[in-house]
Amino acid sequence: MVDVILGLQWGDEGKGKIVDYFAPKYDMIARFQGGPNAGHTLYVNDKKIVLHQIPSGVFHENTINLIGNGVVLDPITLRKECEAVASFGVDFRKNLYIAQRAHLIIPTHRALDRASETSKGNEKIGSTLKGIGPAYMDKTGRNGLRVGDLLDKSFTTQYIRLRLKHQKLLDGFNYHEDISQDEEEFFDALDFMRSFKIVNGEYFINDNLQKQKKVLAEGAQGSMLDVDFGTFPFVTSSNTISAAVCTGLGVAPQRIRDVIGVSKAYCTRVGSGPFPSELLDGIGEELRRIGSEFGATTGRPRRCGWIDLVALRYASMINGVTKIVMTKADVLDAFEELRVCTAYNVNGAKSEEIPFQMTRMHLEPVWQSFPGWKIDTSKINSCGNLPSAMKEYIRFIEGFLHVPISHISNGPGRDQLVVNG
């Protein structure tokens, strides 16, 4: 049995804490896509840590953690993450496994990312400049290096061949940054990685499923950043939806049971691209301030707005979401009035569908207002004690989406999660 946790917005929904909360119920946590552009924030013993590639179950001693084949893996970032995890007294080598078929991010991938994003005439996508896009391009172009290649004596030859291909592209961008220090750090990190448990990921996970082990698949970014179904071209370079679990881990569709979607009680986005419910006013600033809305990976200020139920219903549909965890509900404690976007006015006509290309049309949100509750909810630990106005807000969203909200997160702490029902 495989359950899935993934984001339903533009990422940064607070998935790390939610995976950490559910992890003790599972035998294995597996990342199935993305790379170090993801940042999953956890608080362990009241101390903050941000995981970028390591699954969020690493702090649970008896939980197996697998970095799946759908991930693009940066060895330098992985080493730094492992050192951060070790500072908590965790023996990461005991329960962290890496799939052979996961692709590697090499230093010239990051250089290509920077060259593309800063090149004159190129549309700025809002890349995190971590080399994700170029690594996935090499994967689909059949040029990439994989973790399993580390164990082959021809690895250095393969690396040089790929680097030369990248250099021609960098020359085309007129980009000549010295990356020799990055390369030295990269090869040191490869030596560090060779001591890991590198496994045939698809057999490893299916063998565990055959033994009736429970697996939780952990997604990165959010559904609205999916390369097929997101706000293209302002998307990430992988499929972020539940269908990617099958290709990103090597499991069959019938293995998937629950799909747990994570959504904030409002909405944020980092970087460029359409954001229909964005608030470019004092309320948006207040959401950012109260919610500490700055990117876990980049530190960039997040764009903020009211919750977009058109986008949320769309994401729930394409993922087959069975329940939703609503995060950061306590951020709304401060507001007299709340709004939700229930439709769009697209070129003068009302629509409840996500358009093919938002950037090519004039789009305005249709709002529905709700009273705020003006009560500190951060210390509430039972559903019955939630303010009636908050319950009304949640019931409306459940009715609109036709999906139950099973949990409500009312703070960053592990114990700040209310079971709804």
* pLDDT value at residue 122: 57
Which CATH number is associated with domain 263-419? Answer: 3.90.170.10
| Catalytic annotation present for 12 | yes
| Catalytic annotation present for 40 | yes
* pLDDT value at residue 128: 80
pLDDT < 70: residue spans in the chain = 119-126, 296-298
SS3 of the chain: the string is CEEEEEECCCCCCCHHHHHHHHHHHCCEEEECCECCCCCEEEEECCEEEEECCCCCCCCCCCCEEEECCCEEECHHHHHHHHHHHHCCCCCHHHHEEEECCCEECCHHHHHHHHHHHHCCCCCCCCCCCCCHHHHHHHHHCCCCCEHHHHHCCCHHHHHHHHHHHHHHHHHHCCCCCCCHHHHHHHHHHHHHHCCCEEECHHHHHHHHHHCCCCEEEECCCCHHHCCCCCCCCCCCCCCCCCCHHHHHHCCCHHHEEEEEEEEECCEEECCCCCCCCECCCHHHHHHHHHHCCECCCCCCECEEECEEHHHHHHHHHHHCCCEEEEECHHHHHHCCEEEEEEEEEECCEEECCCCCCHHHCCEEEEEEEEECCCCCCCCCCCHHHCCHHHHHHHHHHHHHHCCCEEEEECCCCCCCEEECC
* pLDDT value at residue 274: 95
pTM, entire model? 0.93
Per the residue annotation, which of 3, 12, 113, 330 is the catalytic one? 12
* pLDDT value at residue 49: 82
103-193 under CATH 1.10.300.10, yes or no: yes
What digits encode the pLDDT tens for the residues 113-143? 999 887 655 566 667 889 999 999 999 999 9
What digits encode the pLDDT tens for the residues 144-181? 999 999 999 999 999 999 999 999 999 999 988 889 89
Each domain of the chain, given as residue ranges in start order, spans 2-101+198-260, 103-193, 263-419
Per the residue annotation, which of 3, 20, 40, 226 is the catalytic one? 40
2-101+198-260: CATH topology: Adenylosuccinate Synthetase; Chain A, domain 1 (3.40.440)
